[in-house]
């Protein structure tokens, strides 16, 4: 059983990551922390609570960071909509409400109380993880693993060089990438190779249940936004982190040092590939198995009926 804390800036593909985690028997969600990213914190928090309510997640949801460590705030509303989760229409919640207290402190307390048992899964900017490391450095050696979506070595999706999550808080990403914690990174190099076709989405519209309807309404918006921008089929960025935790075998990796450009303005936020290493550094995903990924989504949606 993988015990995880999801750190999310809940937009359209974050919602799929949450659905996949909730519908997978090998995953236990200890809690979720909403952070600023795709849109501002209050919206990502509301989106997270709404998705958890629909999917039936009873784990606590906390507030994370409302702004980056240093840089001015940026967002990705052009891909995820003004709300950050345009498409689904949510009913008033009866169960899920935000927990009192700090999400960052929740991360620290949970790891310190369960050494080498908790995996962090940040799929937005890395602000919360960096602040937690600064506040309590002992979590670096006590976290089981940090499986993150972010970075790119093949060009960016927000600037020519930078991927959104890293660009949204480069200083936080630099702290995490160079921390010495056990890191698994899913960059654009891997995530852009796993996409959703219109034919697949049409098939998912035949699934029944609230979670499947939520999935489809999110992916309808995601597909439309990709097509409107001429970007092809939607990439399943964030859910690949969960797919790896369910079954790492279909993925190919390389291990090397990773750092982030913080000085040069044109390449600010770019992830930099350092020397290859047999231990330490960052385990960087290069390729996944698309067919296997969609089989996991099928299983999750069927189990969540």
State the catalytic residues.
9
Tokens 């999750």 belong to: 300
Tell me if 127 sits within 8 A of 68, measured CB to CB: yes
The percent helix, strand, coil of the chain (3-state, each to 5) is 40, 20, 40
β-partners of residue 2 are 27
Query: Cβ distance 92 to 49 under 8 Å?
Result: no
Euclidean distance between CA atoms 74 and 178, whole angstroms:
23
Q: Vertex 192, ends 189 and 194: CA angle to 5°?
A: 120
Pairing status of strand 282-287 against strand 61-63? unpaired
Integer CA distances (angstroms), 256 to 48, 83, 99, 183, 267, in order: 33, 37, 38, 11, 20
Backbone angles phi and psi of 260, in degrees to 5: -130, 135
Number of other residues whose CB lies within 10 A of the CB of residue 97 = 11
Task: Classify residue 157 by its DSSP letter.
Answer: S
Rounded Cα–Cα distance for residues 259 and 280 (Å): 13
Place of tokens 């859910």: 239
SS3 61: strand
Distance CA 284, CA 73 (A): 27
Q: Which helix (H) or strand (E) holds 204?
A: helix 198-204
């Amino acid at each position: 059983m993988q015990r995880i804390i999801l750190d999310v800036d809940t937009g359209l593909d974050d919602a799929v990551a949450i659905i996949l985690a909730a519908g997978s028997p090998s995953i236990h969600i200890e809690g979720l922390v909403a952070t600023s990213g795709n849109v501002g914190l209050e919206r990502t928090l509301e989106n997270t609570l709404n998705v958890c309510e629909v999917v039936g997640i009873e784990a606590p949801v906390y507030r994370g960071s409302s702004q980056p460590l240093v840089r001015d705030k940026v967002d990705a509303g052009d891909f995820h909509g003004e709300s950050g989760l345009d498409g689904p229409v949510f009913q008033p919640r009866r169960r899920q409400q935000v927990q009192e207290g700090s999400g960052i402190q929740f991360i620290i307390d949970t790891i310190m109380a369960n050494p080498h048992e908790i995996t962090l899964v940040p799929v937005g900017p890395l602000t919360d993880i960096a602040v937690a490391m600064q506040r309590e450095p002992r979590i670096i050696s006590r976290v089981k693993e940090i499986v993150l979506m972010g970075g790119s070595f093949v060009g960016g999706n927000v600037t020519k060089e930078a991927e959104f999550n890293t660009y949204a808080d480069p200083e936080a990403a630099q702290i995490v990438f160079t921390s010495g914690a056990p890191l698994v990174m899913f960059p654009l190099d891997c995530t852009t190779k796993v996409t959703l076709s219109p034919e697949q989405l049409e098939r998912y519209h035949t699934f029944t249940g609230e979670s499947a309807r939520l999935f489809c309404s999110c992916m309808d918006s995601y597909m439309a936004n990709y097509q409107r921008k001429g970007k092809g089929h939607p990439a399943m960025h964030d859910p690949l982190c969960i797919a790896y935790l369910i079954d790492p075998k279909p993925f190919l990796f390389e291990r090397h040092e990773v750092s982030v450009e913080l000085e040069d303005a044109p390449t600010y936020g770019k992830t930099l590939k350092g020397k290859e290493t047999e231990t330490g550094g960052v385990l960087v995903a290069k390729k996944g198995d698309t067919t296997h990924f969609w089989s996991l989504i099928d299983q999750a949606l069927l189990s969540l009926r």
